[in-house]
């Protein structure tokens, strides 16, 4: 807003609507692409000494290793991890087994990263042997090793909207999460958890603790912000293990198990509908067919054709898009006499591919009645057991105090975390600004040197001329007076600069040059010989050449007067 000169958000919105190119400038201002090779060396030492050997140990000889650098900016961290794996496997092993996916939302930064060209300053923190092994110089820039470069794939990716890269062994996302609010962080971390293989590593930034996400990630080295994926044992996983342990040998027994499974699904206490990946009805048990008025002929029919209520349709669509569970509460449109709770659960295979959606409907009205009965019984017990109630209240008071203390500590921790993130952001902004100022200072110094060189060159020319020279601006003021003119008329340059030439008293009848000067300002050149008296008091004939002073584009900016003495007059 300061750059474009507006003071209110509404004015800036109007400016964006009128100037669409401003969106690119705004986007580049928001994104702070501060990165470097092996940033925070102690953390990279852990990656090199601990994480990479464990990843290689858990892989087969020819099994592929997948790495994701999220928020890669100009690519230094992606190339850093490429160098570490190349040191562990060799260049050939890196090409054959390692795929490094480097993503960002900034196309300009990605373009720079794809080139793999860096100034010498960017390589200052790299060990000399790595620079010599993985970079070649053309005298001005350093190019990353072309064979190792093939292991890195750069692409645009939105962490909030785009599906995550799956089956990843190591995920680098450093000082990126701190720019998101809590809701967005939860969403991104859930996707990171899905993306990582069991035992995979998450390499975070210095300002990202992840202590409040212990259900997803456990610290491998908290000080260096390196975490491992927490593997969850889900019910489908346990069922699959049990099925493998039973090891049914007969096809008939398998068919019987299938019949039992179908009968159990049909007689389920809860209404359930399963949709395929295209939203078509695969199966629906008896309770679901009654609630949604479905018949057997509806199998294979798109669920949307049943015309479900808008809120259910929206929740199902959201489950297909976001691939996260959803729940609708206090639903009364299925049956006015009841209250229902609907759970929508995406169904995925072991590779994370979406297979379909499960819709489970639960009548919670009976639960509420039971809750009311339990409440009444509780009240009766409280009336009889006053002392027990008093003790319970004391315990509850103590629990509330403890809970309050815990909440205060959590609030303090969040505030400290927020302050740490803000300080880290300010540090990166200051670093970015300092680099820009350094670049500007170098450019100004270079321009100053060029100007000094040009001035010295021009002064050398003026000094070398044997004839007197006076340069006038458009108003007739003297802007240059060479040494030959000083010797001819006895007046120093500092005495005449910025004065009107026609007002000088130098032994030259300058009043007779009014017409030639005007002609030069009009674009015509002239030559005039005048009787004059030089600084020694000797009468001379002086030939005055008058030429136009023009700019690069040809515009007349003043007059150049050349004064050449012809010797004594006859």
Q: Give the per-residue pLDDT at 367.
A: 66
- Backbone region of residue 79 per phi and psi (left: phi > 0; alpha: psi in -120 to 50; beta: other values): alpha
Q: Give the per-residue pLDDT at 29.
A: 78
pLDDT tens column, 402-430: 877 877 787 678 778 878 888 888 888 89
- Backbone CA torsion sign across 44, 49, 55, 61: positive
Q: Give the per-residue pLDDT at 245.
A: 32
**pLDDT < 50 stretches in the chain:** 233-252, 254, 569-570
pLDDT tens column, 95-107: 999 999 999 998 8
- Backbone CA torsion sign across 29, 31, 34, 37: negative
The strand pairing partners of 550, in sequence order, are 556
Cα dihedral value 502, 505, 509, 511, nearest 10: 30
Q: Which residues, at least 6 apart from 566, have a Cβ–Cβ distance to it below 8 Å? A: 529, 540, 541, 542, 543
Token pair recorded at residue 450: 């060029």
pTM exceeds 0.75: no
End-to-end CA distance of the chain: give it in Å, rounded.
Answer: 75
Cα dihedral value 238, 243, 247, 253, nearest 10: 160
């Amino acid at each position: 807003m300061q750059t474009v000169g507006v003071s209110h958000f509404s004015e800036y919105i109007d400016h964006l609507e009128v100037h669409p190119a401003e969106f690119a400038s705004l986007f580049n201002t928001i994104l702070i692409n501060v990165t470097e090779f092996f940033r925070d060396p102690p953390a990279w030492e852990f990656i090199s000494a601990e994480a990479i050997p464990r990843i290689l140990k858990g892989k087969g000889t020819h099994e592929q290793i997948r790495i994701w650098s999220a928020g890669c900016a100009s690519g230094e961290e992606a190339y850093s991890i490429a160098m570490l794996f190349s040191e562990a496997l060799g260049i050939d092993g890196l090409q054959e087994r390692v795929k490094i996916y480097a993503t960002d939302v900034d196309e300009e930064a990605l373009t720079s990263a794809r080139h793999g060209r860096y100034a010498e300053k960017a390589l200052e923190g790299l060990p000399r042997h790595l620079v010599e092994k993985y970079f070649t110089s053309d005298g001005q820039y350093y190019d990353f090793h072309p064979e190792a470069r093939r292991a890195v794939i750069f692409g645009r990716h939105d962490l909030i909207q785009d599906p995550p890269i799956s089956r990843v062994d190591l995920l680098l996302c450093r000082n990126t999460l701190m720019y998101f609010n809590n809701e967005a962080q939860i969403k991104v971390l859930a996707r990171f958890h899905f993306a990582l293989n069991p035992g995979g590593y998450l390499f975070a930034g210095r300002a990202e603790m992840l202590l409040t996400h212990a259900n997803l990630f456990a610290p491998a080295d908290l000080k260096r912000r390196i975490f491992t994926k927490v593997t969850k044992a889900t019910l489908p996983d346990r069922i699959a293990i049990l099925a493998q342990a039973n090891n049914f040998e007969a096809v008939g027994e398998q068919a019987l198990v299938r019949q039992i499974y179908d009968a159990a699904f049909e007689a389920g206490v809860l209404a359930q509908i399963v949709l395929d990946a295209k939203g078509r009805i695969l199966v629906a048990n008896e309770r679901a067919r009654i609630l949604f008025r479905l018949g057997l002929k509806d199998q294979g029919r798109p669920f949307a054709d049943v015309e479900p209520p808008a809120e259910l349709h929206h929740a199902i669509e959201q489950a297909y898009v976001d691939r996260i569970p959803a729940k609708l509460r206090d639903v009364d449109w299925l049956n006015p006499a009841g209250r229902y709770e609907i759970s929508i659960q995406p169904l995925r295979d072991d590779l994370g591919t979406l297979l379909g959606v499960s819709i489970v409907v639960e009548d919670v009205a009976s639960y509420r009645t039971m809750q009311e009965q339990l409440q009444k019984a509780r009240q009766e017990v409280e009336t009889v057991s006053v002392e027990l109630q008093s003790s319970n209240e004391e315990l509850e008071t103590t629990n509330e105090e403890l809970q309050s203390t815990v909440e205060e500590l959590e609030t303090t921790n969040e505030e400290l975390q927020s302050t740490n993130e803000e300080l880290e952001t300010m540090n990166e902004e200051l670093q970015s600004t300092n680099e820009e100022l350094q670049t500007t200072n170098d450019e100004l110094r270079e321009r100053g040197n060029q100007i000094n060189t040009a001035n010295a060159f021009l002064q050398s020319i003026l000094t070398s001329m044997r004839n007197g020279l006076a340069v006038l601006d458009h108003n007739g003021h003297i802007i240059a007076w060479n040494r030959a003119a000083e010797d001819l008329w006895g007046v120093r340059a500092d005495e005449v600069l910025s004065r009107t030439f026609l007002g000088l008293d130098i032994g030259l009848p300058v009043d007779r040059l009014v017409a030639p000067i005007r002609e030069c300002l009009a674009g015509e050149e002239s030559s005039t010989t005048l009787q004059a008296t030089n600084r020694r008091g000797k009468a001379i004939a002086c030939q005055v050449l008058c030429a136009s002073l023009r700019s690069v584009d040809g515009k007349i900016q003043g007059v150049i007067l050349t004064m050449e003495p012809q010797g004594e007059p006859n």
